[in-house]
């Protein structure tokens, strides 16, 4: 059996948070049984964790190269781990991986989140001990749950996140081997090579995608979310809807686009659409430096963070899609339901909120492997960094008293507000390329200085075709009242010149 992730990632916490990792130089069964109990309880719904034996640690970080374990130790420890699992109530066993890493034998215990929490472990392994406690993880430390933490853990009893539940109404062969192998290859898993010749059910068990006895193996919900091409058949409205209102929400015309497919494919496709159809760039030259500055109406990385987090934190039991609305001056991303009640309205307003109670622990696990999200509370800070780098306004988070939804509002970068005014003035309706019209009128305004002939304007714009210039630049600007002819009674006069109107001057000066 092979680890479903790249082993190097365990030592860098690239795809697994430090709080889900425990490094032990040697074998200490009392410590191990408590940590196994804590990972099984999965207090923050992170998906359990890993215990790495044969690797010393300092301040929670591994010391490499590893110390390693002898062959004799490996055999002894594996036998004791089996017995140790029966010390936990109800009994619990991790998945054991003997591994050679940097020429040293180490043992990795994959402690997946338990299905029948809460779990208790003995305070001591001595024969006289009769005291058991609930253990949980707090940061990178295993502690006994007390007071409020213990009450919360008991409230979570028998509550397994929806994505980690078995789907008994379906068959294991509904999962797509091709999609599974594509994922394993993408995350550089050692399981990729083995998967070509491994029995399919064994592969699914190795990846914790299946449960049930051998005579009736059924897939977990997360398997359909990632490894079936049509998850919306099993979870209706598992999709991303984009509605584009180029002239505003009150206009008669708008365009709609729907993206379906595996949970990790949908945001990629939706982001590709936004990048090609919505995101625009402006270059501003600076007199005090050689390099020009580049700005975007919406920074791609900030939208990516918000959209991937919507897929991570939404409920797949609620039949509502993730919704993206593109308005002239903002983009909103809406998902259902809203944030946990531990996050106050004040936290939302200050943009300093952090939830460690994740709704979809397995979805987050796979998205982190694919580097679509980090899940370490870094989403909001990264979003803010990208917006600041682009000189964009801060996002606004909206929810209601019932926390039935969460909407993230991204205001447009201020440099692009002129384009919105031009679009409003021109009165372009949906069905025409309003963003391009605004950009071309803006270019014409920028080069028009005083009174100029058609040929002079074209030369300034480096345009050759008269018909193209008049149709795409001059006529829209004239119709919008931003440019006027000097001889309006003789539009075809050879002496005809063009100049900015007062409204055109005001827009140009901004």
Share of the chain above pLDDT 70, in %: 91
pLDDT of 341 > 90? The answer is no
The whole-number pLDDT of residue 46 equals 79
Q: 276 and 209 in one domain? A: no
220 part of a folded domain: yes
Closest of 279, 275, 359 to residue 313, by C-alpha = 359
**Residues 2 and 124 both lie in one domain:** yes
With a cut of 70, say whether residue 117 has pLDDT above it.
Answer: yes
- Residues in contact with 145: Cβ distance below 8 Å, sequence separation at least 6, in sequence order: 41, 43, 133, 134, 135, 136, 153
**Average pLDDT of 242-271?**
89
Give me the pLDDT at residue 166, please: 87
- Given 159, 187, 212, the domain boundary residue is 159
Query: Within this chain, do residues 369 and 445 fall inside the same structural domain, yes or no?
Result: no
- Structural domains of the chain, count: 4
Do 302 and 331 contact (CB within 8 A), yes or no?
no
Asked if residue 342 and residue 356 are part of one domain, the reply reads yes
Q: Which of 103, 137, 159 is the endpoint of a domain?
A: 159
Predicted TM-score (pTM) of this structure: 0.64
| More confident of the two residues 348 and 105 | 105
| 430 vs 285, residue with greater confidence | 285
More confident residue, 212 or 414: 414
Q: Tell me which of 228, 255, 273 is where a domain ends.
A: 228
Answer whether 108's CB lies under 8 Å from 3's CB.
yes
Least confident of 84-88, 286-290, 299-303: 286-290
Q: Is the peptide bond before 65 cis (omega within 30 degrees of 0)?
A: yes
The verdict on residue 123 lying in a domain is yes
Q: Which domain holds residue 445?
A: 418-509
- Segment among 88-102, 301-315, 457-471 with least mean pLDDT: 457-471
391 plus 442 within the same structural domain: no
Of the listed ranges 25-29, 103-107, 147-151, the one predicted with least confidence: 147-151
E strand segments, 438-497:
483-485
Burial of 428 (0-12, 13-18, 19+ CB in 10 A): buried
| DSSP bridge pairs for 407 | 334, 398
Phi (first) and psi of residue 492, to 5 degrees: -100, 15
∠ CA 470-475-481, nearest 5°, is 150
Looking at the chain, the whole-number percentage of residues with pLDDT higher than 90 is: 50
Write phi, then psi, for 407 (nearest 5 degrees).
Answer: -120, 130
pLDDT at 239: 95
- Helix, strand, coil share (%) of the chain residues, nearest 5: 40, 20, 40
pLDDT of residue 431: 38
Q: Are 215 and 246 members of one domain?
A: no
Q: Does residue 277 fall inside a structural domain?
A: yes
pLDDT at 455 over 70: yes
CA-to-CA separations, 120 to 116, 153, 467, in angstroms, rounded: 11, 11, 80
**Looking at the structure, do residues 34 and 55 belong to the same domain, yes or no?**
yes
Residue 234 lies in a domain: no
Q: Do 380 and 265 sit in the same domain of this protein?
A: yes
In a domain, 362, yes or no: yes
Asked if the structure places residue 235 within a domain, the reply is no
Query: Which CATH number does the domain housing residue 504 bear?
Result: 1.10.10.10
In terms of pLDDT, which residue wins out, 422 or 404?
404
CATH number of domain containing 61: 3.30.950
User: Between these two residues, 100 and 155, which has the higher pLDDT value?
Assistant: 100
Same-domain pairing of 504 and 460? yes
Pick from 160-169, 273-282, 355-364: least confident: 355-364
Q: What is the pLDDT of residues 118-133, one digit of tens each?
A: 999 999 998 888 899 9
> Same structural domain for residues 214 and 344?
no
pLDDT band at 428 (very low <50, low <70, confident <90, very high): very low
Judge whether 328 lies within some domain.
yes
Residue with tokens 């159809």: 277
pLDDT classification of 215: cutoffs 50, 70, 90? low
**Model confidence at 430, in pLDDT bands (50, 70, 90)?**
very low
Q: Are residues 69 and 144 in the same domain?
A: yes
List, for residues 394-408, the tens digit of each pLDDT value.
999 998 888 899 999
Residue 112 maps to a domain: yes
**Mean pLDDT score of the chain:** 87
Mean pLDDT of the region 264-275:
95
Model pLDDT, residue 426: 56
Minimum mean pLDDT range among 3-12, 204-213, 333-342, 467-476: 3-12
Res. 432 pLDDT band, cuts 50 70 90:
very low
Tokens 């055109």 found at:
504
Q: Is the pLDDT of residue 387 over 90?
A: yes
| Distance, first Cα to last Cα, the chain | 65
**CA torsion, points 220, 223, 224, 227, in degrees to nearest 10?**
-160
- Specify the 3-state DSSP secondary structure of 306: helix
| DSSP classification of residue 150 | H
173 in the same domain as 152: no
Instruction: Tell me the C-alpha distance between 331 and 411, whole Å.
Output: 7
Q: Where are the beta strands (DSSP E) in 60-144?
A: 61-62, 95-101, 104-111, 120-122, 132-138, 141-144
Determine the average pLDDT of the residues in 73-94: 92
Contacts for 387 with CB less than 8 Å, ≥ 6 apart:
299, 302, 393, 394, 395, 410
List pLDDT tens digits, range 459-478: 998 888 888 888 888 988 88
**Mean pLDDT within 222-232:** 94
Mean pLDDT lowest among 5-19, 212-226, 333-347, 491-505 = 5-19
Q: Is 247 within 8 Å of 429 (Cβ atoms)?
A: yes
Residue 377's pLDDT band (cuts 50, 70, 90): low
Where residue 396 sits, what CATH number does that domain have? 3.30.565.60
Average pLDDT value for residue range 332-338: 93
Among the listed ranges 271-285, 297-311, 352-366, which one has the minimum average pLDDT value? Answer: 352-366
């Amino acid at each position: 059996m092979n680890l479903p992730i790249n082993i190097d990632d365990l030592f860098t916490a690239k795809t697994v948070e430090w709080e889900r990792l425990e490094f032990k130089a040697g074998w200490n069964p009392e410590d191990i049984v408590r940590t196994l109990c804590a990972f099984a309880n999965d207090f923050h719904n992170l998906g359990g964790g890993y215990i790495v034996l044969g690797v010393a640690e300092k301040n929670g970080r591994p010391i490499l190269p590893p110390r390693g374990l002898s062959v004799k130790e490996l055999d002894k420890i594996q036998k004791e781990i089996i017995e140790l699992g029966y010390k936990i109530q109800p009994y619990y066993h991790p998945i054991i991986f003997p591994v050679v890493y940097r020429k040293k034998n180490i043992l990795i215990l994959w402690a997946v989140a338990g299905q029948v929490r809460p779990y208790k472990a003995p305070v001591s392994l001595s024969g006289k001990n009769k005291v058991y406690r609930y253990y949980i993880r707090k940061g990178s430390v295993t502690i006994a749950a007390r007071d409020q933490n213990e009450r919360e853990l008991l409230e979570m009893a028998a509550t397994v996140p929806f994505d980690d539940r078995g789907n008994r109404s379906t068959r294991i062969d509904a999962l797509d081997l091709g999609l599974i192998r594509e994922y394993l290859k993408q995350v550089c898993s050692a399981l990729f090579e083995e998967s070509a010749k491994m029995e399919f059910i064994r592969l699914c068990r190795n990846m914790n995608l299946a449960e049930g006895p051998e005579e009736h193996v059924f897939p977990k919900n997360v398997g359909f979310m990632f490894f079936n091409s049509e998850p919306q058949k099993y979870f209706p409205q598992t999709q991303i809807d984009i509605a584009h209102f180029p002239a505003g929400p009150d206009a008669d015309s708008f365009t709609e686009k729907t993206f379906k497919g595996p949970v990790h494919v949908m945001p990629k496709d939706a982001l590709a659409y936004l990048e090609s159809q919505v995101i625009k760039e402006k270059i501003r030259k600076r007199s005090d430096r050689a390099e020009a500055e580049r700005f975007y109406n919406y920074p791609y990385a900030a939208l990516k963070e918000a959209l991937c987090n919507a897929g991570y934190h939404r409920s797949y039991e609620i039949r509502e899609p993730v919704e993206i609305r593109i308005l002239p001056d903002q983009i909103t991303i809406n998902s259902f339901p809203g944030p946990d009640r531990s996050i106050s309205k004040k936290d939302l307003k200050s943009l300093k909120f952090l939830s460690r109670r994740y709704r979809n622990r397995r979805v987050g696990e796979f998205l982190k492997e694919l580097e679509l999200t980090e899940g370490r509370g870094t989403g909001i800070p990264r979003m803010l960094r990208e917006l600041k780098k682009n000189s964009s306004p801060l996002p606004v988070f909206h929810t209601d008293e019932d926390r039935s939804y969460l909407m993230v509002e991204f205001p447009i970068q201020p440099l692009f507000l002129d384009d919105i005014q031009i679009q409003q003035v021109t009165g372009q309706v949906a069905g025409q390329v309003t963003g391009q019209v605004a950009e071309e009128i803006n270019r014409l305004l920028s080069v028009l200085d005083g009174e100029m002939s058609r040929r002079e304007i074209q030369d300034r714009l480096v345009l050759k075709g008269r018909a193209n210039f008049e149709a795409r630049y001059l006529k829209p600007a004239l119709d919008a009242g931003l440019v006027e002819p000097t001889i309006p009674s003789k539009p075809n006069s050879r002496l005809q010149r063009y100049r900015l109107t007062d409204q055109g001057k005001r827009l140009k000066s901004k």
